[in-house]
Structure 1
Amino acid sequence: MEAENNGKTSAAYPMNSGDGPYSYANNSISLGVVIDHIREIMIKDISEKLEITPSKPFWIADLGCSIGPNTFSAVKNLIDSVEFKYQSSQETTTTTQSELPQFQVFFNDHTSNDFNMLFKSLPGDRRYYAAGVPGSFYGRIFPDASLHLVHCSFSLHWLSQVPKELRDKSSPAWNKGRVHYSNSGDEVIKAYKAQYEKDMALFLKARAQEIVCGGLMVLISLGIPSGVHHSEAGGNRGFDLVGSCLKEMVEKGIVSEEKFDSFNIPTYLMTPQELETAVKENGSFAIERLEVLPHVKVNGVALNSHQVTFCVRSTLGELIKEHFGEETIDQLFDLYFQKVEEIHPSSIAEAVKTLSFLAVLKRKPIKH
């Protein structure tokens, strides 16, 4: 099956599980603020653009859901938006709850995701049936024309795998002495970009088969402005800082040089224009909205050094543990915190050359 074949080529990079101090659930609030910020935009776009079929169960998928709580906020916003559209389309204002479509929500992530934590955290007052769907979203995970609404936030910057050239010592893209592409040579950057292009082609091809005509896909992605070098993005600076810490640990004999040289973080920050190009090349979706979102702060306050460190640890901790061993984690992030203090957390958390952008795509009619 196509879904099985695609899944074999996609590696899993789970966020830190559970509900401890370093868990993703407790360190992703800044992303949740962005999801809440676009609520009114979602209501408007879904009301105007979505073609719903109230006589059928309404299928929603959240791709790359992780373990919450952001996925639950996003799903609530989506359902509120669909209900608003349905109620506003009725001639009478006496629409009852029983007349609204039944919602089936599918929470998708890799098999290594902490689905137990996810389902333990499900809101008690939810207005939907919940199911988990394991598998990489770079392949097929749903039947043909089954989804009405798809959401994916802060997941598409994760590549399906580290570009193979980076691990080949004979390749000009061998990334010796670095853990990311942003401060590397042109060949490394090209390898990351090529992997991103392959992944996005697979992502859009799969969704084009799974989403009904007239259905919508809402994407929120971390990105970078066109024309800005990748080394200038705050998020990438944070990853480069991880590399700096690991290099220092190599010099101290804590981490082997071979292990260090074989480690690369599989993320790529795309520009809105790169996403637009991928959508046009796929040809199955119309771009209903593509806009850069304003920087928003948690409770109006910038992240401090501890919060930045915990956020990066919750995101990369499992990946680093798998490669270097659990015994390195505390030392690495103690050093990371020190370095964040030296350069000031705003250089990572609030750099203006990192951006979040929103894309709303509508499945075009199938041409016969």
Structure 2
Amino acid sequence: MSNTPQWIMIGGEGPESYHQNSSYQRALLEAAKEKMNEAISAKLTLNLITDRFTIVDFGYNIEFQVFFNDFSNNDFNTLFQGLPPERRYYSAGVPGSFLDRVLPKKSFHIGIISYAFHFTSKVPKGITNRNSPLWNKDMHCTGINKAVKKAYLDQYSVDTKNLLDARAEELVPGGLFLIFGSCMRDGVKMSETCKGVPMDCLGASLNDLAQQVHI
């Protein structure tokens, strides 16, 4: 069963494209470089490497092979156009949802998922149904409504299990799977963060406009 979500990044290099609106994700990777290098040095078992070393972005005698995974309707063209021509590795695109199996068993040595681990494959049932007790009246899930929070948590738990089960089959024994993302401490509500406060204000304004039938 496909786990393709109901959202998609905008391709190309226009003002609304992911390419022009991913500075936060780039900053996250820059901040994580040192930790990434430490993890690779400490955890990766080098005696498992033979004549090919496979890295998956979910980037001699040893040949490096890099797979870039994304949904088939996302923009691979911009990605490949941005690869350095003098690169010393082989590259390929692997279409499909990272919540499913996308590679053969025991096929990659290092996998990376950066600022995508928090996405769910779909909106939980009832969230957009006005007649449902789970109807989320807010612009986004702030966690204030406990029933809405639980619905998203349940969906996220299912998706996370699918993702980790798939990678467990694809990862070479002794390999490494790196997960990068942002999170909040236990007990901190989204509505209390620097991102949640303006989102709540914007959501409240849109709700007011909708009630006045201005949109």
Name the structure 2 match of 1:211. 171
Name the structure 1 match of 2:55. 60
Name the structure 1 match of 2:105. 144
Would you say the 8 A contact 1:182–1:230 is kept in 2?
yes
The CA deviation string for residues 36-92 of structure 1, in whole angstroms up to 9 with x for no partner, is 2222222222122101333231111111xxxxxxxxxxx2xxxxxxxxxxxxxxxxx
Which of 125, 140, 151 is equivalent to 1:180?
140
The sequence identity of aligned pairs, in percent, is 38
Q: 1:245 to 1:136 in 2, by over 3 A?
A: farther
In the TM superposition, residue 248 of structure 1 has moved relative to its aligned partner by 4.5
Would you say the 8 A contact 1:12–1:110 is kept in 2?
no
Structure 1 counterpart of 2:56, one-letter code? A
Question: Counting helix residues as a fraction of each chain, which structure ranks higher?
Answer: 1
In the TM superposition, residue 193 of structure 1 has moved relative to its aligned partner by 1.0
> Bigger CA drift: 132-141 or 39-48?
39-48
Q: Give the distance between the partners of 1:224 and 1:247, measured in 2 at CA.
A: 26
Name the structure 2 match of 1:116. 77
2:156 pairs with 1:223: no
Matches within 5 A, 1:24-173: 24-52=18-46, 53-63=48-58, 75=59, 98-99=60-61, 101-173=62-134
The CA deviation string for residues 279-313 of structure 1, in whole angstroms up to 9 with x for no partner, is xxxxxxxxxxxxxxxxxxxxxxxxxxxxxxxxxxx
Matches within 5 A, 1:193-212: 193-212=153-172
Q: 1:151 to 1:121 in 2, by over 3 A?
A: same
Q: Give the distance between the partners of 2:79 and 2:189, measured in 1 at CA.
A: 37
Let me know the Cα RMSD of the aligned residues.
2.0
Q: Give the distance between the partners of 1:111 and 1:237, measured in 2 at CA.
A: 35
Structure 2, unaligned runs of 5 or more: none
Structure 1, unaligned runs of 5 or more: 64-74, 76-97, 256-368
The CA deviation string for residues 148-196 of structure 1, in whole angstroms up to 9 with x for no partner, is 1100010011111111121344432112x32322054111111111111
Would you say the 8 A contact 1:183–1:240 is kept in 2?
no
TM-score (norm 1): 0.54
Q: 1:184 to 1:126 in 2, by over 3 A?
A: same
Structure 2 counterpart of 1:157, one-letter code? H
Q: Give the distance between the partners of 1:60 and 1:12, measured in 2 at CA.
A: 27
Q: 1:13 to 1:102 in 2, by over 3 A?
A: same
Would you say the 8 A contact 1:61–1:107 is kept in 2?
yes
Would you say the 8 A contact 1:12–1:112 is kept in 2?
no
Q: Give the distance between the partners of 1:218 and 1:109, measured in 2 at CA.
A: 17
Q: Give the distance between the partners of 1:105 and 1:240, measured in 2 at CA.
A: 40
Would you say the 8 A contact 1:110–1:135 is kept in 2?
yes
Q: Give the distance between the partners of 2:50 and 2:161, measured in 1 at CA.
A: 33
TM-score (norm 2): 0.89
